[in-house]
Amino acid sequence: MGGWAIAVHGGAGVDPNLPLHRQEEAKKLLTRCLNLGISALNSNLPAIDVVELVVRELETDPLFNSGRGSALTEKGTVEMEASIMEGTKRKYGAVSGVTTVKNPVSLARLVMEKSPHSYLAFAGAEDFARQQGVELAENDYFITQDNVEMLNLAKEANAILFDYRIPTTALDSSCAAEVDNPMLMNGLPISVYAPE
């Protein structure tokens, strides 16, 4: 039997020209979440509690695409989804289409432990959230200015973007590459598109 191990992620598909300061912000958040998980593991918390604890932290911080800071639908709203699974008995819980739940991963865990089901979505998930008394917020709590700008870019390009974090329009010095190579497609920096 080995010791404990932990890994976290904040999304794949990163714009190669992401400004350095945003790269540092991301690394700081990842390190903070790792340390949160490590101290929980050293206090003998079970794995299921640790993954929930760490993902809640990631949902609450607006930097990555989840919880506050979630990507926006074509209507400019937020529809979040999450799941959690524990390996020993392979129990799991999942939610989709939640719009007011501050920590969707905790609602997913309640589905696993407090309901006869494994997956609740949209209105059913929202009703269950109210029954369970989880923390709620208006939909605009989850919407950040960065993502409103990203949505506008995506609409201009008539594109669907996954976890790209493209720099805000005011390019700063560390985006020199972009300025030197302003190759655009549909008015967007070419780096926004998934490599073909």
Partner 1 sequence: TVGCVVVDKEGRCAAATSTGGLMNKRSGRIGDSPIIGAGTYACNLCGVSCTGEGEAILRATLAREVAAVMEYKGLRLQEAVDFVIKDRLDEGKAGLIAVSTNGEVAYGFNASGMFRGCATEDGFMEVGIWE
Does the footprint of partner 1 cover residue 39 (CB under 8 A)?
A: no
Residues from 111 through 140 that contact partner 1 (CB under 8 A) = 118-119, 121-122
Does the footprint of partner 1 cover residue 175 (CB under 8 A)?
A: no
Q: CB of residue 111 vs partner 1: minimum separation in angstroms?
A: 10
Of the candidate spans 42-50, 127-135, 171-179, 180-188, the one that interacts with partner 1 by CB under 8 A turns out to be 42-50
Pairing label, strands 119-121, 91-98: parallel
Distance between CA atoms of residues 55 and 68, nearest Å: 12
Tallying the residues shown for the chain, one arrives at 196
Q: CB of residue 40 vs partner 1: minimum separation in angstroms?
A: 9
Bridge partners of 134, per DSSP, are none
Neighbour-count burial for 107-132, b at 16+ CB within 10 Å, e otherwise? bbbbbbeeeeeebbeeebbbebbeee
Residues from 9 through 38 that contact partner 1 (CB under 8 A) = 9-16, 18, 23, 26-27, 30-31, 33-34, 37-38
Q: CB of residue 16 vs partner 1: minimum separation in angstroms?
A: 6
* C-alpha radius of gyration, the chain, whole number: 19
Q: CB of residue 79 vs partner 1: minimum separation in angstroms?
A: 6
Q: CB of residue 99 vs partner 1: minimum separation in angstroms?
A: 10
Distance between CA atoms of residues 131 and 126, nearest Å: 9
Residues from 56 through 115 that contact partner 1 (CB under 8 A) = 58-59, 64-67, 69-75, 77-88, 90, 92, 94-97, 104-105, 108
Neighbour-count burial for 64-88, b at 16+ CB within 10 Å, e otherwise? bbbbbbbbbeeeeebbbbbbbbbee
Does the footprint of partner 1 cover residue 52 (CB under 8 A)?
A: yes
